[in-house]
């Protein structure tokens, strides 16, 4: 992750409001996007964002600087989002994923090449809706790994620090997330291709 860290930790810890405002200014867009992708709901994402910065404000004195400021803020936000999802899905979906792939569990099934579809098809409102449905169908653990690594560009190590799991676990979760998303999008776009070719004949 490319990052400038011009914000003085010393000033933050001393309660400097301008330093805190600069931190909010710099990180709120990223953290909002993280919360939005995790929760899939703008109102809840805003709630998580506010809660995360309030926690950061109260927790600043305990920030040791062992990790980067951004990683620390990501961790607080991801934790808030995962807690919210746990509450939401308490009796339905398990939040934690087994770390190992079962044999054959992730073998690709859809192998139609839909990459050649025109950009307008790939980016249509209906396709975007399918992207949302697909990502929301991932377990929170897989979604978090995918969002941090592929959408926010964190390294495996940074994502592991944020989620407080091993780097091996991040890699496994990322692989599973990517494979599951590919499978869902492949079903959708293969069907689109068939619809288009049927319409032509």
Instruction: Single out the segment in contact with other proteins by CB under 8 A; choices: 7-15, 81-89, 109-117, 136-144.
Output: 109-117
Site for other proteins, residues 63 to 92, rule: CB under 8 A: none
- The total of other beta-carbon atoms located within 10 Å of residue 46's CB is 14
CB of 106 to other proteins, least distance (A): 8
- The total of other beta-carbon atoms located within 10 Å of residue 132's CB is 11
Tell me: does residue 107 bind other proteins (CB under 8 A).
yes
Q: How far apart are CA 155 and CA 149, in angstroms?
A: 6
Instruction: State which of residues 99, 100, 151, 168 lies at the interface with other proteins (CB under 8 A).
Output: 151
Q: How far apart are CA 85 and CA 108, in angstroms?
A: 28
Per-residue exposure over 159-181, b if at least 16 CB sit within 10 Å of its own CB, e if not: bbbbbebeeebbebbbebbbbbb
For residue 118, give every residue at least 6 positions away whose Cβ sits within 8 Å of its Cβ, in sequence order, or none: none
Tell me: does residue 32 bind other proteins (CB under 8 A).
yes
Binding-site ranges for other proteins (CB under 8 A):
17-18, 20-21, 24-25, 28-29, 32-33, 36-37, 42, 46, 49-50, 53-54, 57, 106-108, 110-115, 122-123, 127-128, 131, 135, 146, 150-151, 171, 174-175, 178-179, 181-182, 185-186
């Amino acid at each position: 992750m490319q990052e400038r860290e011009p914000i003085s930790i010393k000033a933050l810890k001393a309660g400097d409001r301008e330093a805190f405002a600069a931190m909010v200014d710099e990180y709120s867009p990223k953290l909002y996007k993280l919360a939005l992708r995790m929760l899939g709901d703008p109102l809840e994402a805003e709630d998580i964002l506010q809660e995360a910065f309030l926690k950061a404000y109260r927790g600043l004195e305990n920030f040791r600087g062992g990790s980067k400021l951004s990683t620390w803020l990501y961790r607080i936000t991801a934790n808030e989002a995962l807690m919210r999802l746990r509450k939401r899905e308490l009796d339905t979906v398990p939040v934690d994923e087994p770390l190992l792939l079962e044999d054959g569990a992730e073998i690709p099934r859809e192998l139609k090449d839909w990459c050649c579809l025109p950009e307008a098809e790939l980016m249509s409102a209906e396709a975007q809706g399918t992207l949302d449905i697909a990502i929301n169908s991932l377990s929170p653990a897989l979604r978090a790994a995918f969002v941090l690594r592929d959408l926010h560009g964190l390294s495996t190590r940074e994502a592991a620090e944020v989620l407080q799991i091993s780097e091996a676990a991040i890699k496994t979760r990322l692989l599973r997330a990517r494979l599951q998303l590919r499978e869902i999008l492949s079903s959708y776009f293969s069907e689109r291709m068939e619809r288009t070719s049927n319409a032509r004949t």
